[in-house]
Structure 1
Amino acid sequence: MTTTHRIRTAGPRARTLALGLALTTLTALTACGTAPTPPGTDRAESAGARPHGHVEGAEETGEAQSRLVLADGGSGAVHVLDLVTGEVTATGRAPGVRAMTGDGRYAYLSTPKGLTVVDSGGWTVDHGDHVHHYRATPRALDPVPVRPPHRIHTDATVTAVTGADGTTRLLARPAPTSAAPGGERALRLGTAAPVVPYQGRLLVPGTGPGRDTVEVRDRTVKTVTVLDERCRAPRAATVTRRGAVLGCADGALIVSGEDGDLTAHRVPYGRPVAPGERATRFDHRPGATTLTARSGEDAVWVLDVTARRWTLIRTGPVAAVNTAGEGTPVLALGTDGVLRAYDPATGRRTASRALLKDPSGAGATAVVAVDSGRAYVNDPGGDRVHEIDFGDGLRVARVLRLGFSPTHLVETGR
């Protein structure tokens, strides 16, 4: 059962919420061409019965339905905060939650007993020349019994969950706790390297005698080809508009192409990099081609996928990092609780803002989530989230007071 209440907010933007909602019309489904059916669409619909883009049980809206999924690491309580209405919906508990990731709609909470999945109820389907925005009631889904830690990567049809035992399970979307078409598929590779769905294929790194080859498999897990370039010690992985990116021991491997015809390009660090300073996780705005990653304890990497270039920024001790993409600053949250902005090209610091009063525990759970205009920084010690306008000198646009500790945070809806 879910419960909903409205949060208290502080800041100028909060005073305009009611007016903005009154002026925003939640439109009927937008008429559009014959683009592919988006994930979640009822495929039994006929053109005469339901408009293109219809999703059963959801309402199409005229604007993105941005939401934050928040988990309290102490109590295990999970909530969804609607950033448009200010409502908070409780969706149950994930006892012992250790980490959380998201894919734009679903949040995946890693617990000792497996993977808890929460449907945030806000998402966007991108058709290239137009988009559909949807809202529905947040809810918890059935758990996935995969041993932690978990590496999770998704595309429009498949969620790949890699567990500690080296097994990757392929689950169907839009409900990523159900079996993939034809039954649940599993890859038992004996390595925890991330499996990445991309362009109708699966990128499977960490294979071969040296554990450094990248296989391309179809959705039945049959090997189609092996990429020419190698990726030793694969750890980080993500997908951008310009291709999938794998983090390797000597840099990155960018995989791109269409219709299953994929090619790979190496982007080396360009300098000797110790194992502890390699990129092991990419953070970025979904789809954007500028990626960030922590480099050891006191620096961050910036990877420009378009230019195929790494930049190292010496930030001092850093707890979390992110960026909204080209033309926007790199946002680094220090272990001192100060958020700092850096020019991604020069590494010059351009702004700073003290945020967290009790940063002592920030290193393990700190999050900087970004969309095209705002950043969200969780403040577990203050039971709140800070909404930051990173285009205006890191101005605090809103303080979202919660009444519980937001130990973990992901943004959805865009």
Structure 2
Amino acid sequence: MSVRRNLTPWAPAALVTVALLATGCAGQGADASAPRATPTSAAPHGYVEGAQERAEQQSRLVLNDPRTGDSRVLDLITGKVHEVSRTPDTTHLTTDGRFGYLHTTGGTHVLDSGAWMVDHGDHVHYYRARIRDVGRLPGGPGARVRSDAAVTAVTDADGRARTYHRAELEKGRVGSPRTLPGTHAEAVVPYAEHLLSLTDDGKGSATLAVYDREGRRVASPDARCEEPRGDAVTRRGVVLGCADGALLVREADGTFTAEKIPYDGDVPAKQRATAFRHRPGSDTLTAPAGERAVWVLDVTERTWTRVRTNGPVVSANTAGEGSVLIVLETDGALHGYDITTGKQVSRTKPLVTGDLDAGTDGNTGPVIEVDRSRAYLNDLKGKRVYEIDYNDNLRIARTFDLDIEPALMAETGR
């Protein structure tokens, strides 16, 4: 693997993080960039056994070639590529920020990428550790995995759900699951020390239910979701995609409420938002809106914006907070759109080679991953990954050449 740089090398926005660590974790007497020693009765704040704490985001890319099963982890700090266990016939690759979940016909392979963050609200801790295989979760294609700091929930294609102790995954083993009652229309989402579910009524509609981590239903907010598809966790609550818009579920002082964020008018089924992508920590979500448009959902303002594109959309994402909407179109180029005006403000040369199909976002094919300072795009036929500075007119900052076709990609460490 080789790395090619264009003008300016990658430099993570660490100054703010350093300041947060200095203020939020002051007085711990430890260098945040150094490995931690064996814990004592006075272990430093944020100590994690077997991990090194760093002052900056430790991003890594989990990559897979479904044809051969070859998998790699690309360390974006060092530029090194790590070869990991083969996982053939992978249909989807998802992540919860640390673990890569490679969904296959025989189950879901769990890979610990060795990079993650812990958000304490007023400050953030970043960690790096060794990469290792964890094991296999039941549930093949169609299984959906969602996690929080304590629980990982796996919802099978038939709507059955199980939860696993995340602490066990962090120790390198799957552990014993707990089965949740009933069937669920979409993914069970851990949130606010509870589990959110849309209970299927068998008629295309679902009712919101809240369970505790033992699987007991503890609340049933008065909320329904027609034809549910897609979900995302934001700082302002959990967004659930519905036929008429989105359902925003929030928790305050132990009480769960649900608020509908409707579309502005009727939206044809083929133009509805059914799969969300966003920068973790952002309250701005993106989703395909038909062949030549992208939905942008501002959760803070409770508004939908439909941005029309010049060509058919392959994948889209945004960093939010005033950043451009980044769209990969079937011409192989990245296009930057001003979300407010809808105007194209930047464009790259064609980056992705081979034939591109619109609407492949979430399956095998090019995707756009976004963090606080960079975006990443996988080029299958070209066997490379591009690092994009989205704050500098989509400038290509680095190019990583690979020895596999990275048809699946997910970023961890965010």
Q: Structure 1-normalised TM-score?
A: 0.88
Runs of 4+ in 1 over 3 A off after TM superposition: 30-34, 44-47, 174-180, 188-192, 206-211, 361-364
Unaligned runs of 5+ in 1: 1-5, 35-43
CA offsets, 1:65-99, max 9 Å, x none?
Answer: 11111111221111111111111111111110111
1:12 counterpart residue number = 7
1:74 counterpart residue number = 67
Structure 1 position 187, deviation (Å) = 2.6
Indicate yes or no: 2:161 matched with 1:168.
Answer: yes
CA offsets, 1:233-281, max 9 Å, x none?
Answer: 1111010011110001110001112343111110111221122211111
1:218 counterpart residue number = 212
CA offsets, 1:112-156, max 9 Å, x none?
Answer: 111011111111111112111111111121011213212221111
Report if aligned partners of 1:369, 1:410 keep a CA contact under 8 Å in 2.
Answer: yes
For residues 110 and 344 of structure 2, the distance between their equivalents in structure 1, rounded to whole angstroms, comes to 38
- Residue aligned with 1:212, SS: strand
Report if aligned partners of 1:95, 1:111 keep a CA contact under 8 Å in 2.
Answer: yes
Indicate yes or no: 2:308 matched with 1:304.
Answer: no
For residues 209 and 384 of structure 1, the distance between their equivalents in structure 2, rounded to whole angstroms, comes to 44
Bigger Cα displacement from structure 2, 190-199 vs 230-239 = 190-199
Structure 1 position 300, deviation (Å) = 0.9
1:41 counterpart residue number = none
For residues 107 and 175 of structure 1, the distance between their equivalents in structure 2, rounded to whole angstroms, comes to 15
1:354 corresponds, among 340, 349, 354, to 349
- Residue aligned with 2:224, SS: coil
Indicate yes or no: 2:58 matched with 1:65.
Answer: yes
- Residue aligned with 2:68, SS: coil
Structure 1 position 13, deviation (Å) = 3.8
1:148 counterpart residue number = 141
The one-letter code of the counterpart of 2:402 is L
1:344 counterpart residue number = 339
Q: Return closer, same or farther for 1:46/1:199 CA change in 2, 3 Å cut-off.
A: farther
1:112 counterpart residue number = 105
Identity score, percent: 46
The one-letter code of the counterpart of 2:57 is A
Report if aligned partners of 1:207, 1:215 keep a CA contact under 8 Å in 2.
Answer: no
* Count of matched residue positions in the alignment of Structure 1 and Structure 2: 389
Report if aligned partners of 1:200, 1:259 keep a CA contact under 8 Å in 2.
Answer: no
Structure 1 position 174, deviation (Å) = 3.9
For residues 199 and 394 of structure 2, the distance between their equivalents in structure 1, rounded to whole angstroms, comes to 40
The one-letter code of the counterpart of 2:407 is T
For residues 341 and 265 of structure 1, the distance between their equivalents in structure 2, rounded to whole angstroms, comes to 31
Unaligned runs of 5+ in 2: 29-37
- Residue aligned with 2:137, SS: coil
Structure 1 position 324, deviation (Å) = 0.5
CA offsets, 1:354-396, max 9 Å, x none?
Answer: 2335241464511000011111000001000011111111111
1:242 corresponds, among 226, 236, 259, to 236
2:130 counterpart residue number = 137
The one-letter code of the counterpart of 2:315 is A
For residues 96 and 318 of structure 2, the distance between their equivalents in structure 1, rounded to whole angstroms, comes to 17
Bigger Cα displacement from structure 2, 354-363 vs 253-262 = 354-363
2:307 corresponds, among 309, 313, 320, to 313
1:40 counterpart residue number = none
Report if aligned partners of 1:179, 1:185 keep a CA contact under 8 Å in 2.
Answer: no
The one-letter code of the counterpart of 1:215 is A
Indicate yes or no: 2:331 matched with 1:333.
Answer: no
2:407 counterpart residue number = 407
**RMSD over equivalenced CA pairs, Å:** 2.5
Structure 1 position 190, deviation (Å) = 3.7
For residues 354 and 329 of structure 2, the distance between their equivalents in structure 1, rounded to whole angstroms, comes to 9
For residues 174 and 332 of structure 1, the distance between their equivalents in structure 2, rounded to whole angstroms, comes to 37
Q: How does 1:29-48 map to 2 (within 5 A)?
A: 31-32=25-26, 47-48=41-42
- Residue aligned with 2:85, SS: strand
The one-letter code of the counterpart of 1:134 is Y
For residues 97 and 408 of structure 2, the distance between their equivalents in structure 1, rounded to whole angstroms, comes to 16
Report if aligned partners of 1:336, 1:359 keep a CA contact under 8 Å in 2.
Answer: no
- Residue aligned with 2:45, SS: coil
Q: Structure 2-normalised TM-score?
A: 0.88
For residues 332 and 357 of structure 1, the distance between their equivalents in structure 2, rounded to whole angstroms, comes to 12
Report if aligned partners of 1:60, 1:135 keep a CA contact under 8 Å in 2.
Answer: yes
